């Protein structure tokens, strides 16, 4: 069947990019959240669970439950294609064992933590049962879960202003579903207190590249499948550091990184508009491809870096945490 694909063109007035180094801003350390799409959603879950004493909540679009891959690519593919085979009780047990050993934060921190789960009933890449697995996992720990399973989106980040038809699979994996996913997720993570953008907001803050090499102390980021540069948006209300702001970390999916799509994910998923009207600094860390182990430029949720990927000592987790600490504390 021939599909008619309609794109909405959005012009965002943002200055030309240069490279900056992150610095400390006036951010409430209790207002740090994370989200992601697909592999980025799996990574968002990891970062939240691993650092649950510091990360308030997480949002997953077409995500994967924590520890599902068990360090194996073959198992990761099963998590995506046959989520009914995932033993969520085993994931819970492994999480509790990790917490007992001190390699992740105590699971008690997850009690009441806001969690947003978006999973389309027609997702053919990460099947819908994966969203149910995430819910079952977080329910065990008493999280405050908001789910959305009724939007007929292909495997994509849903927006209400950008991309092809909602059921189109491919391209940039950002679809116009008449659903503002970034706002819906962040509003839940921030206790339903956010102003909803109307689409005409002037983005008067700072949107720029930042140096990711600052967060890999003894190695090249590329060795951990990370880009030299990421994107950051500092809302106009946060630039002079007089207002107390929030911090959100948004993680792209496979085939969505800067190495392939430049700043498409950061600019066109709605995060910037939500950030501008609600004083939320947004980090968009960037992964890259590695020919043999990570050809699609995914964040590490199956252990292609090393076996520590699921702990505080994982290469990418360490880097993300250092980025967070630089914004919060200047360290």
Measured CA distances, 11 to 106, 168, 261, 275 (Å): 44, 22, 17, 17
Bridge partner list, 36: 60, 251
Q: The pTM is what?
A: 0.94
| N-terminal to C-terminal alpha carbon distance within the chain | 55
Contact, 323 vs 92, CB < 8 A? no
- Catalytic residue, chosen from 113, 119, 123, 227, is 123
Contact, 116 vs 188, CB < 8 A? yes
Measured CA distances, 66 to 79, 95, 104, 170 (Å): 11, 8, 12, 25
Contact, 278 vs 195, CB < 8 A? yes
Describe the crossing of helices 181-189 and 271-278 by its angle, rounded to 10 degrees.
40
Q: Is 21 assigned a catalytic role?
A: no
DSSP helix/strand/coil, 101: helix
Place of tokens 């064992």: 97
DSSP output for 241-258 = S-S-EEEEEEE--TT-SH
b/e 2-37 (16+ beta carbons within 10 angstroms → b): eeeeeeeeeeeebeeeeeeebeebebeeebbbbbbb
* C-alpha to C-alpha distance for 115 and 40, rounded to whole angstroms: 15
Q: Residue 191 — φ and ψ, nearest 5°?
A: 60, 35
| Residue closest to 264 by CA, chosen among 167, 158, 173, 169 | 173
H helix runs in the chain, sequence order: 39-50, 73-81, 88-101, 129-140, 181-189, 258-261, 264-268, 271-278, 315-329
* Token duo for residue 183: 């706002």
Per-residue pLDDT of the chain (331 residues; tens, 9 = 90+): 323 333 333 334 444 567 899 999 999 999 999 999 999 999 999 999 999 999 999 999 999 999 999 999 999 999 999 999 999 999 999 999 999 999 999 999 999 999 999 999 999 999 999 999 999 999 999 999 999 999 999 999 999 999 999 999 999 999 999 999 999 999 999 999 999 999 888 999 999 999 999 999 988 999 999 999 999 999 999 999 999 999 999 999 999 999 999 999 999 999 999 999 999 999 999 999 999 999 999 999 999 999 999 999 999 999 999 999 999 999 9
- Catalytic residue, chosen from 48, 67, 119, 155, is 155
Q: Is 53 assigned a catalytic role?
A: no
Q: Is 149 assigned a catalytic role?
A: no
DSSP helix/strand/coil, 317: helix
- Catalytic residue, chosen from 38, 156, 224, 225, is 38
* C-alpha to C-alpha distance for 197 and 187, rounded to whole angstroms: 11
| Residue closest to 33 by CA, chosen among 250, 258, 316 | 250
């Amino acid at each position: 069947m021939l599909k008619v694909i309609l794109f909405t063109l959005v012009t965002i007035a943002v200055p030309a990019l240069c490279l900056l180094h992150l610095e400390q801003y006036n951010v409430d350390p209790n207002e740090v959240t994370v989200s992601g799409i697909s592999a980025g959603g799996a990574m968002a879950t990891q970062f939240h669970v691993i650092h649950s004493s510091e990360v308030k909540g997480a949002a997953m679009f077409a995500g994967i439950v924590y520890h599902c891959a068990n360090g194996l690519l073959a198992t990761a593919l099963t998590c995506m294609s046959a989520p009914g085979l995932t033993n969520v009780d085993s994931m819970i047990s492994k999480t509790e064992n990790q917490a007992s050993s001190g390699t992740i934060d105590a699971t008690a921190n997850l009690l009441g933590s806001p969690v947003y789960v978006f999973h389309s009933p027609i997702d053919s890449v990460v099947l819908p049962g994966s969203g149910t697995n995430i819910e079952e996992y977080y329910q065990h720990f008493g999280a405050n879960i908001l789910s959305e399973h009724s939007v007929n989106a292909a495997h994509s980040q849903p927006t209400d202003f950008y991309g092809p038809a909602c059921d189109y699979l491919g391209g940039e994996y950002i679809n116009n579903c008449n659903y503002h996913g970034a706002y819906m997720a962040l509003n839940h993570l921030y206790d339903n207190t956010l102003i909803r953008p109307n689409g005409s907001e002037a983005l008067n803050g700072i949107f720029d590249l930042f140096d990711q090499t600052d967060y890999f102390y003894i190695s090249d980021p590329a060795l951990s499948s990370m880009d030299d540069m990421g994107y950051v948006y500092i809302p106009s209300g946060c630039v002079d550091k007089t207002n107390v702001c929030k911090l959100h970390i948004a993680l792209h999916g496979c085939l969505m990184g800067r190495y392939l799509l430049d700043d498409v994910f950061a600019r066109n998923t709605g995060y910037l508009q939500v950030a501008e009207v609600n004083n939320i600094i947004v980090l968009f860390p960037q992964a890259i491809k590695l020919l043999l182990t990570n050809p699609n430029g995914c964040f590490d949720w199956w252990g292609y870096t090393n076996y520590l990927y699921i702990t505080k000592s994982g290469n990418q987790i360490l880097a993300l945490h250092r980025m967070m600490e630089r914004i919060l504390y200047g360290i």
